[in-house]
Amino acid sequence: MTLSHTSQVSSRSCLAIVLAAGEGTRMKSAKPKVLHQVANRSMLGHVLATLTQAGATSTAVVIGPDRDDVAKEVQKVSAQARIFVQTDRLGTAHAVLSAREALAQPGDDVIIAFGDTPLILSDTFIKLRSPLAEGAAVVAMGFEAKDPTGYGRFITSGNELLAIREHRDASEDERAITLCNGGLMAIRGDLALPLLDRVQNKNAKGEYYLTDIVEIARSLGHRTAIAVVSEEEVHGVNDRAQLAAAERMIQNRLRQAAMASGVTLIAPETVFFSHDTRLGQDVVVEPHVVFGPGVVVEEGAIIHSFSHLEGARIASGAGVGPFARLRPGAMIGPKAKVGNFVEIKNTDLGAGAKVSHLTYLGDASVGAEANIGAGTITCNYDGFGKYRTEIGEGAFIGSNSSLVAPIAIGKGAFVGSGSVITDNVPDNALGLGRGRQTIKEGWAIGFREKAQAANKK
Ligand code: UD1
Ligand code: CA
Q: What is the pLDDT of residue 23?
A: 81
Q: Is the CB of 44 under 6 A from ligand 1?
A: no
Report the amino acid identity of residue 311.
G
Q: What is the pLDDT of residue 196?
A: 98
Using CA atoms, how far apart are residues 427 and 130, in angstroms rounded to an integer? Answer: 67
List the end-to-end C-alpha distance of the chain, in Å, as a whole number.
Answer: 95
Averaged over 395-416, what is the pLDDT? 98
Averaged over 340-369, what is the pLDDT? 98
pLDDT category at 4 given cuts 50, 70, 90 is: low
Using CA atoms, how far apart are residues 105 and 192, in angstroms rounded to an integer? Answer: 10
Q: What is the pLDDT of residue 457?
A: 80
Averaged over 238-248, what is the pLDDT? 98
208 is in an annotated binding site: no
Averaged over 289-304, what is the pLDDT? 99
Averaged over 205-220, what is the pLDDT? 97
Q: Is the pLDDT of residue 1 over 50?
A: no
Q: Is the CB of 183 under 6 A from ligand 1?
A: yes
The predicted-structure confidence for 196-208, as pLDDT tens digits, reads as follows: 999 999 999 999 9
Cis peptide before 406 (omega within 30 of 0): yes
As to burial, measured by CB atoms within 10 angstroms (0-12 exposed, 13-18 middle, 19+ buried), residue 57 is: middle
What is the Å distance from ligand 1's center to 142 Cα? 14
What is the Å distance from ligand 1's center to 183 Cα? 7
Chain centre distance of CA 86: 27
What is the Å distance from ligand 2's center to 238 Cα? 7
Please indicate whether residue 46 is annotated as part of the active site: no
Q: Whose CA is nearest to atom 19 of ligand 1?
A: 91
Consecutive H or E run containing 273: none
As to burial, measured by CB atoms within 10 angstroms (0-12 exposed, 13-18 middle, 19+ buried), residue 164 is: buried
Cis peptide before 287 (omega within 30 of 0): no
The predicted-structure confidence for 153-196, as pLDDT tens digits, reads as follows: 999 998 889 999 999 999 999 999 999 999 999 999 999 999 99
Averaged over 261-288, what is the pLDDT? 98
Q: Whose CA is nearest to atom 8 of ligand 1?
A: 209
For ligand 1, pick from 111, 114, 231 the residue to mutate: most ligand atoms within 8 Å of CB: 114
Using CA atoms, how far apart are residues 427 and 367, in angstroms rounded to an integer? Answer: 12
Write down the mean pLDDT value for the chain.
96
Q: Do 33 and 106 touch, CB atoms closer than 8 A?
A: no
Using CA atoms, how far apart are residues 102 and 295, in angstroms rounded to an integer? Answer: 37
What is the Å distance from ligand 2's center to 152 Cα? 10
The predicted-structure confidence for 355-373, as pLDDT tens digits, reads as follows: 999 999 999 999 999 999 9
Ligand nearest the Cα atom of residue 145 = 1
Picking from 84, 39, 41, 34, the residue whose alpha carbon sits closest to that of residue 62 is 84
91 is in an annotated binding site: yes
Q: Is the CB of 21 under 6 A from ligand 1?
A: yes
pLDDT category at 6 given cuts 50, 70, 90 is: low
Q: Is the pLDDT of residue 306 over 70?
A: yes
Averaged over 268-283, what is the pLDDT? 98
Q: Which of 5, 167, 222, 357 is catalytic?
A: 357
Q: Is the CB of 233 under 6 A from ligand 1?
A: no
Question: What is the share, in percent, of the chain residues with pLDDT greater than 70?
Answer: 98
Q: Do 432 and 416 touch, CB atoms closer than 8 A?
A: yes
Q: Is the CB of 208 under 6 A from ligand 1?
A: no
Q: Is the CB of 210 under 6 A from ligand 1?
A: yes
Q: Is the pLDDT of residue 319 over 90?
A: yes
What is the Å distance from ligand 1's center to 86 Cα? 14
Distances (CA, A) of 236 to 91, 182, 233, 341, 345: 17, 9, 9, 40, 37
Averaged over 19-40, what is the pLDDT? 95
Q: Is the pLDDT of residue 246 over 50?
A: yes
Q: What is the DSSP letter of 151?
A: S
The predicted-structure confidence for 92-125, as pLDDT tens digits, reads as follows: 999 999 999 999 999 999 999 999 999 999 999 9
Q: What is the pLDDT of residue 245?
A: 98
Q: Whose CA is nearest to atom 10 of ligand 1?
A: 151
203 is in an annotated binding site: no
